[in-house]
Structures are given as structure tokens and as C-alpha cells.
Amino acid sequence: MEESRKVLYSAVQPTNNLTIGNYIGAIRNWVDLQNGYDCYFAIANMHAITVRQNPAELRQKTLALLALYIACGVDPEKCVLYLQSHVPAHAELAWVLNTFTYVGEMERMTQYKDKSSRHADNINMGLMDYPVLMAADILLYQADVVPVGLDQRQHLEIARDIAQRFNKALSPTFKVPEGLYVKVGAKINDLQEPSKKMSKSAENPNGSVFMSDDKDTVIRKFRRAVTDSDSDIRYAPEEKPGVSNLLSIYSVFSGKSVAEAEKEFAGAGYGEFKLAVGEAVAEKLEPLQKEQNRLLGDKAYLDGVLRSGMERAARAAGRTLNKVYKKIGFYQL
Ligand code: TRP
């Protein structure tokens, strides 16, 4: 890694079934970013257990996510790709940072309020402490930039606050990270409710296309996609949200511009158009899924990636944790 490059940190939880929206918004982004920054990418399994998980499934999904990212082009030679629980410094720093975080500010976090109403039977301390663990993730690596979705903005702001508070109370220790709210060319919306963002947990499963969907499923979902009453295939997000969403998706997956796509489908019927979009998506997913499965069959390789990621991450994290322990007054041998 080059000394002069900025450090970038990001993480994903291994619990979500990723949609093609995540692919466009997050995975592809990592692939681009790894060339411009010193990247640390984590699989955040410690965050995942703040809502109850099936242990066997959590283990399986961890490897599946790792394999998917590598299949999509995240290169473990170019970035540090690792599993959060493999680096104990995350939990250790989180404990220290807890003492620089106020209960009141955690109670006011939007995602905490939202998740505690959705998981009212399990409002555990981890759920409330989630942003502190996330702050520890980021601050351990002295990250300059953190690409996140807008839903994580509040968490990033808190990480900055905590860093500044610690720096002020003791002495400059943490880099105060900047959020990178990446504008992706296309925002992918729900196929059934095209004015809403495509999400992994939509009420109608036909509205979301998952990275793991097979060809028939993909085609079926696009065939059922909501369009509108006139029959023009043109990009007009306000007036024709369904058709415009399909055009965006087609554009991303075929590599053609929206204008080119409009031209291509001028005069075509919705049926033909939707089939073409489905096919473009399925065609792109198939090789990724195949590569993901091949990697999943090579556990020795995946373990090797995680081991080397762990070692590199632990080295960087250890340096920061050591400083923190000194400054806070922990007697060291
Ligand atoms: N909370 C993030 C999410 O659900 C995942 C995450 C954990 C993360 N630690 C992080 C993202 C550190 C950026 C930086 O999307």
C-alpha cells in the first residue's frame, strides 16, 4: 500500500439478502474505491448479532457475502478484506468509547428507535451500543473517508463526535473521518412500488430482485413489474416511475445510456421491454453467481483471504488501540 493514499473504511452486515440495488449502490462502489484508497472492508458480524440470528445461517451468510464481494471484483490483494470478529480490538475500543458516549444520545438515534420498535421483544444493550461499535470500527483504522448510505449518516456523525470528544479530553488520537455519500448514477427502486427504494425487506418480495435470484425468478419479477397506463417507453421519473426505473436498471446492467435504451425500445410493447430488462439483469447475475459458488467450494481460499485480512487489520487496529490504552491510563507491561 502507498503511504500517500487516504484510508477508507467500510463494512456490511452479513445478514442481508443483497438486492441489485445494493450491487449498484455499494458493491460496485467498493470495486471502484479500492483503486484510489487504502481500503479496509469488513464483514460486520458483530453488528449483525444485535438482532437475533440463527448461528448456522450467520456462519454460512458470512462466507456467502465474502464470496459474493470477491466475485463482484473486490480484490483481496488490493484491499484488506476481513471479518470484524476476527479482530478483538473492535470490541476493546468500543468499550473505551462507551465511556465517551452518552446514553441520551444513543437513545435518540433514529435506527435504534426504529429497530427497537421492530424488535420490541429484544431491545438489548448491543442494539443501543451499535453506533459505538461502528465508531470503534472506523476510528481504529484512522480512516479519512467512510462511504455509507444516507441511512448511516447519523451513525457516522456520532463517530465523528466521539472522536472529537476523546481527542479533546485527552489529546489528538483519532482521525476525524469524513462521510462519503456516493451519488450513484442510478437509484434502483422497487418493481412493485416504483416510487420507493428497492429494499431487502420489502413487503412484496416481487418488488426486489436479489443477487441470488435465478434466471427464471429474475424474468418473472420483471414481467410483473409495475408500469403505467400509457405505452411509451421514456424516462420521466415523476410521471412514469415504473418505466423510468426499468430504464435505469436496463442502462446499468446493459452498459448503455438511458437515451440509447429509449431509442432501442421506441415502439416496443411493455411486455417485450420488461423481458429485455429481465434478461439483461439475469445475464449479468449468472456469471457472478457462478463465480460466487465456485469460491464457496474453495473454502481453503476463502479462509486464506480472511486470515490474511485479519492479520493486516489487526496490525493497524492494534497500533491505535495501544495509543488509546496509554492515553486513558491503562498500566502497560
Ligand atoms: N452499520 C452499517 C450498515 O448496516 C455497517 C457498518 C458497520 C459500517 N460498521 C461500519 C459501515 C463502519 C461503515 C463503517 O450499513
**pLDDT score of 29:** 86
Least confident stretch, 38-52, 164-178, 184-198, 238-252 = 184-198
Beta strands, E only, the chain: 7-12, 38-43, 80-83, 145-147, 178-180
Please tell me the distance between residue 134's alpha carbon and the centre of ligand 1 in angstroms.
Answer: 6
- The residues lining ligand 1, judged by C-beta closer than 6 Å to any ligand atom, are 9-13, 44, 47, 134, 137-138, 146, 148, 152
Least confident stretch, 52-61, 96-105, 225-234 = 225-234
Mean pLDDT of the residues in the chain: 94
d(CA 91, CA 84): 9
**pLDDT score of 95:** 98
205-293: which CATH topology?
Answer: Tyrosyl-Transfer RNA Synthetase (1.10.240)
The pTM (predicted TM-score) of the whole model is 0.92
Higher pLDDT: 229 or 11? It is: 11
**pLDDT score of 146:** 96
Mean pLDDT, range 148-164, rounded to an integer: 94
Among candidate residues 61, 115, 221, 274, the one labeled active-site is 115
**pLDDT score of 24:** 84
Q: Could you give the angle at the alpha carbon of 177 between the alpha carbons of 172 and 181, nearest 5°? A: 170
For residue 137, the ligand 1 atom closest to its alpha carbon is 12
d(CA 248, CA 261): 9
d(CA 162, CA 98): 9
Q: 197 an active-site residue?
A: yes
Identify whether the C-beta of residue 97 lies closer than 8 Å to the C-beta of residue 166. yes
**pLDDT score of 25:** 81
Per residue in 38-76, pLDDT tens? 999 999 999 999 999 999 999 999 999 999 999 999 999
Please tell me the distance between residue 12's alpha carbon and the centre of ligand 1 in angstroms.
Answer: 6
Identify whether the C-beta of residue 84 lies closer than 8 Å to the C-beta of residue 140. no
Among candidate residues 113, 200, 290, 326, the one labeled active-site is 200
Please tell me the distance between residue 29's alpha carbon and the centre of ligand 1 in angstroms.
Answer: 15
Q: Which CATH class is domain 7-181+298-328?
A: alpha beta
Mean pLDDT, range 14-22, rounded to an integer: 88
**pLDDT score of 2:** 52
Q: 113 an active-site residue?
A: no
For residue 44, the ligand 1 atom closest to its alpha carbon is 7
Exposure letters 145-178 (e unless 16+ CB within 10 A, then b): bbbbeeebeebbebbbbbbeebeeeeeebbbbbe
Structural domain boundaries in the chain: 7-181+298-328, 205-293
d(CA 132, CA 46): 12
For residue 147, the ligand 1 atom closest to its alpha carbon is 13
Residue nearest to atom 14 of ligand 1 (CA): 10
